[in-house]
Structure 1
Amino acid sequence: MVLKSCCVYSVGVVSVLMLILGISLVLTSVFPHLVQSMVKKQVILKNDTDAFEAWKDPPAHIYMQFYFFNLTNPQEVLDGERPAVVEIGPYTYREYRPMEQIDFQDNGTKVTAVNTKTYIFQRNMSRGPESDLIRTVNIPAMTVMERLKDKFIEANLISAYMKGTGQGLFTTRSVGELLWGYEDGLLKALKTITHDLDDVFGLFYKNNASNDGEYVFFTGQQNYRDFSRVDTWKGESSLNWWTSDECNMINGTIGTGFHPVITKNDMLYIFSSDLCRSLYTVYEEDVTVKGITGYRFVPPSSVFANLTVNPDNAGFCVPAGNCLGSGLLNVSVCKKGAPIIMSSPHFYQADEKFAQDVFGMTPNKEEHQTAIDINPLTGVVLQTAKRLQINVYVEQIPTFSQTGNVRTVVFPVAYLNESATIDDTAAKKLKAIGVQQNVVENIPFMLIGLAIIVGGIFMFLVCQQKVPESTAAERQPLLSS
């Protein structure tokens, strides 16, 4: 009987110990930290790892969509009226962007590579063929006029040449020409005088089947937070276009992947050679992509805010002190002097005046916001939409009659949407990792549940214990009659 009672109470002791252990494991987050530690060691740029293969040749289908703004009232604009544009698109291209010329350095802590991009037109996903015509601002002419506006003699000569050849402030070109390049008569004539000019112009001229220079990336071997972070670009660890050291910093990855174990408080940096600068993104909301949990990160309005809103952006005002307003970035310093202004599509998050200056602008968050959905455990990009608008700074230049009485305006030319969604094979792998994560992280709760079950068994056994039956002598009355 004593042995039986010992066994029953041993069950109770085991139940209490399991309960204490389970609660302790929950409070100390031992198993979540264990999972994170394993992932940190696995997500590294190293041969034969999944992370390296996905970085080397992204398995997701990447598409680049272009939308153009067709000018409908060119003569009225020259007379000083507000431009009216109609959005035409998309013109869609399949984008291939493998890493090439890969070379590991510094005992595997860094890797050099070039990111070659190739674009293949997808007619079935486009509004029309590449031969569709678009009327827009004559960017080569505007560039030349801006360059020579303070040089009276040269300006008059070029103005006369433009009159003779019928060139004006606006031009009509095909989608293919505007994107990939066409020979421009004015640039060709000037090339004999100014040798730094190219006689071919295109928004993405020389960008197809080419790369933007050599990168050196950290592999994440020494610090998981350095995974795929850019160390140098074109041999330099900083830029030289802007007027402050902070604005010239090269920060973050190139946006195709991020370090593992991301929290909602993280600020994720991205270096964009298209924008000639680094930018940062912050957590916005939880999302689900193909059944996988993710965090959505977006660039806050402060990224492109005026220095009055964000003093850290003072260095992006070029020349120094020349700030255009919130939501715009003057990239002429890195575009060979072309008066190119970058913004979000339809001037989303920019000062209202820029959208109001052009009839046809309808900014909205859903269509025009840049967003990156990331799996927080692995840092894998689940879905992304990079949206940028190319604008031209247009103003009246007295020495060029071609500008007429045009009002000063940031003129929208086109915007792009570079998007990708994780493919089914990679999604399946991530789901499996998610299942394993849930199982491991729930071990303490399983232990607590088991402790409760064992505790229930203990209570049941205690209740089932019976008082021993009395002997015949014990049942005899103490007093006889």
Structure 2
Amino acid sequence: MRLRLCCVSTAGALCVLLLICGIALELTRVLQKLVNNTVKQQIVLENGTEAFSVWQNPPPPVYMQFYFFNLTNPAEVMSGDKPSVVQIGPYTYREYRPMEEVKFMDNGTRVAAINPKTYVFEPNMSRGSQDDLVRTVNIPAVTVMEKYKDSILARLISDLMKAKGVGVFETFRVGDLLWGYEDPLLKELHMLVPDDHFGLFYKKNGTEYDSYVLLTGKPDYQDFASIDEWNGQRSLNWWSSEECNMINGTDGASFHPIITKADRLYIFSSDLCRSLYVQYECDVSVQGVPGFRFVPPADVFSSPDINPDNAGFCVPPGHCLGSGLLNASVCKQGAPIIMSSPHFYQADQKFVDDIWGMKPIKEEHQTFADINPLTGIVLQGAKRVQVNVYLQQHSSFSQTGKIQTLVFPVMYINESAFIDEESAKKLHAVVLNANVVINIPFIVISVGILLGIIFIVLMCRQQMPPSTLAEREPLLSS
């Protein structure tokens, strides 16, 4: 009889525990929704919010590192041999990119701003100086030859290049190649070209800027910081399909809150002249703050035979270079610029094999963003892009010699950001508080289970016959 009472007591206790678990799980769902709703209300571009302050003046330092490829065998390349390059750098600059002239529109659902960028050289974080010399492609000369190869002016320009000693490869100062210099050939051709200066980032250092109209995250939190207009455009006009011309997502500096591993996050890159997407790769922790690592999958840059959605990026239409490459000449004033990941990471092996010195490594050359999933804040990230030039022979220009048709690497960029210690502490506190709130039901469950076990033990002990207890006392004492 007493054993039966013990079993009944145990069953009753278990029923109570199951009821507690059910209530706790439901409470967890309610609290999770409450936390999410609170975050959604706070992560919005609106005066007075922390999200707006971070967006307007990003606290984590951003650094732009430039790596150049120095050509070691120019004469052999002009005779048809494979180029051999040596990577030099990095040349590191601190990047400042505040949002200015901020103006809210449409009842606070959109915000307009300009985004000037300033770069300050950091010698202590660089390997070399801005006065270093690098031998690489003469991009202005190659651009002129490409533009006038079928023109009646080709012969005159070729003779002018011979007279001025202008060739396919030249030696430049790093600082000039980045920020601009007066090019002798462009100066002679001033009647044919809009500007006689050239630089990979010419007028980008505090002079020219991008203008944006962004969605604030009201009423839909998933629209937070999404680009609605870029430089007055709601779509691009460089590519041959509507899908490829879309301006999707944010600028990559921030994302909407409440991110899941199944999400596909879109980024618009003005450097690449296109939108792309990133997907979850793995969990990470940055200064104690949990995050998800998102990376662009290989499909983003695959050739149309692998990913038909990329057919619109082939220019002219139907002329595709292969996986991992983007012909950006249409948005680079006609210069034969080809964009890729550094060292042709995720590109067809052919492009790696065409150049001595290419060594693609995922950890060094992959673009990634580590994002806190609760707030959408970027903990650390790196945008890595390589600038290449398409080279080929032109019968109308003897300067091209017997050069092979190839994609020649000029330099690559590693634009990186890492959350500062103060911001990490604030974010860690937010995440910790949210976790405490969400985990309250699990604490209740744990306490309930513990109390239930104690209750069952006491009830069964009370129901045991005295003889059984007497028999157990010596065993317990021993």
Q: TM-score, normalised by structure 1?
A: 0.91
Aligned-partner SS, 1:303: helix
**Match for residue 5 of structure 2?**
none
Is 2:216 the counterpart of 1:216? no
> What residue in structure 2 maps to residue 169 of structure 1?
168
Contact 2:71/2:86 (<8 A) preserved:
yes
Q: Could you tell me how far 1:442 is from its partner in structure 2?
A: 1.1
Q: Aligned-pair distance for 1:23?
A: 2.8
Tell whether 2:34 aligns with 1:37.
Answer: no
Cα drift, residue 188 of structure 1? 1.4
Instruction: Give the % identical residues.
Output: 61
- Measured in 1, the distance between the counterparts of 2:333 and 2:200 equals 12
Structure 1 residues 355, 466: closer, same or farther in 2, change over 3 A?
closer
Deviation at 1:331, TM superposition (A): 0.6
SS in structure 2 of the partner of residue 222 of structure 1: coil
Contact 1:253 1:270 in 2 (8 A): yes
1:198 aligns with 195
Instruction: Provide the rounded CA distance (Å) in 2 between the counterparts of 1:182 and 1:392.
Output: 19
Verify: 1:106 aligned to 2:106, yes or no: yes
Give, in whole Å, the separation in 2 of the partners of 1:359 and 1:313. Answer: 29
* 1:300 lines up with 2:282 in the alignment: no
> Deviation at 1:464?
7.2
User: What is the alpha-carbon distance in structure 2 between the residues aligned to residue 35 and residue 374 of structure 1?
Assistant: 18
1:334-353 aligned at under 5 Å gives the runs 334-353=331-350
Q: Residue 324 of structure 1 aligns with which residue?
A: 321
1:257-285 per-position Cα deviation (integer Å, ceiling 9, x unaligned): 00001011100000011110000001111
Equivalent-residue separation in structure 2 for 1:93 and 1:331 (angstroms) = 25
User: Does structure 1 retain, via aligned residues, the 8 Å contact 2:136–2:170?
Assistant: yes
CA contact (8 A) 2:65 2:413 kept: yes
The one-letter code sitting in structure 2 at the alignment partner of 1:156 is R
Task: Assess if the C-alpha contact under 8 Å between 1:340 and 1:393 holds in 2.
Answer: yes
Q: Which residue of 1 aligns with 2:181?
A: 182
Contact kept in structure 2, 1:230 and 1:252, CA below 8 Å = yes
Q: Which amino acid aligns with 2:365?
A: H
Question: Is residue 67 of structure 2 the alignment partner of residue 67 of structure 1?
Answer: yes
Following superposition of structure 1 onto structure 2, how do residues 8-407 of structure 1 map, counting pairs within 5 Å? 17=16, 19-26=18-25, 29-151=29-151, 153-192=152-191, 194-195=192-193, 197-407=194-404
Shift of 1:191: 1.8
- Determine if contact 2:286/2:379 at 8 Å carries over to the other structure: yes
- Partner Cα distance (1:87, 1:442) in 2: 51
Would the aligned equivalents of 2:24 and 2:444 in 1 still touch at CA under 8 Å? Answer: no
User: SS at 1:29's partner residue?
Assistant: helix
5+ residue gaps, structure 2: 1-7, 465-478
SS in 2 for 1:213: strand
The 1:148/1:454 distance shift into structure 2, 3 A limit, reads same
Structure 1 unaligned segments of length 5 or more: list them: 1-8, 468-481
Q: Does the aligned pair in 1 maintain the 2:20–2:448 contact within 8 Å?
A: no
Write out the 4+ residue segments of structure 1 that deviate beyond 4 Å after TM superposition: 12-19, 463-467
- CA deviation digits over 1:408-430, x for unaligned, max 9? 01000000100010011110011
Deviation at 1:13, TM superposition (A): 7.8
Task: Answer yes or no: is the 8 Å Cα contact 1:19–1:451 preserved in 2.
Answer: no
CA contact (8 A) 1:19 1:452 kept: no
The CA deviation at 1:210 is 3.5
**Aligned residues, how many?**
456
Give the superposition deviation at 1:457: 4.7
The separation in 1 between residues aligned to 2:242 and 2:81, in whole angstroms, is 41
Deviation at 1:97, TM superposition (A): 0.6
Mapped to 2, the partners of 1:99 and 1:317 lie a distance apart of 33
**How many angstroms apart in 1 are the aligned matches of 2:460 and 2:412?**
76
Structure with max Cα Rg: 1
User: Is contact 1:269-1:278 (8 Å) kept?
Assistant: yes
The DSSP-based 3-state class of the residue aligned with 2:363 is helix
Shift of 1:85: 0.4
Q: Structure 1 residues 448-457 or 51-60, which shifts more?
A: 448-457
Asked whether the equivalents of residues 268 and 282 of structure 1 are also in contact (C-alpha less than 8 Å), the reply is yes
